[in-house]
Amino acid sequence: MACDSTEQLRAEYGPFHTRAEAETEAKKLGFCYLLRYEHIIDEHEEIQEVRCIFIELPETIALVKDSKNLHTRCATCGESSTHEQSWQAEVWADIHEFEHSRHRVRLFEHTRGEGLKEIADWRA
């Protein structure tokens, strides 16, 4: 499988027959990791354990870490949006909070290599 992070909530794509196939698709998608599932089977051919093994693709990480998306989400009603520029996020938040009094918009930054992180006090 190709995947974008090692976190539990990750995007996965696959499966593939070979590692070369998986690496090619991961690079196309901008994913930084390959994920291999190993199934431990007992003598009755029943699955006893499933292991996840992450393989980091170092050449992809350098390219992908720079790509960022900003996500705004209203803490009150849950409405959300994605933005490429910080000014777009600020305009969306201003409009939402103007149209809905007492709503509060939060800002998150998503980087494929590091995941989703909240930007605290972004409007202070």
The whole-number mean pLDDT for each consecutive block of 10 residues of the chain, a chain of 124 residues, reads: 86 91 88 91 93 85 62 93 89 94 91 79 80
Q: Are residues 18 and 58 in the same domain?
A: yes
Query: What is the three-class DSSP state of 11?
Result: coil
Q: b/e for 8-21, b at 16 or more Cβ within 10 A?
A: eeeeebbebeeeee
Residue 121: predicted pLDDT: 86
Does 124 map to a domain?
A: no
Cis peptide before 15 (omega within 30 of 0): yes
* pTM of structure: 0.48
Residue 85: predicted pLDDT: 86
Domain with 84 in it? 68-119
Q: Are residues 74 and 54 in the same domain?
A: no
Q: Are residues 78 and 42 in the same domain?
A: no
| Cβ–Cβ < 8 Å for 82, 71 | yes
* Cβ-proximal residues to 83 (8 Å cutoff; 6+ apart), any chain: 69, 70, 71, 72, 89, 92
Question: Of 22, 49, 64, which closes a domain?
Answer: 64
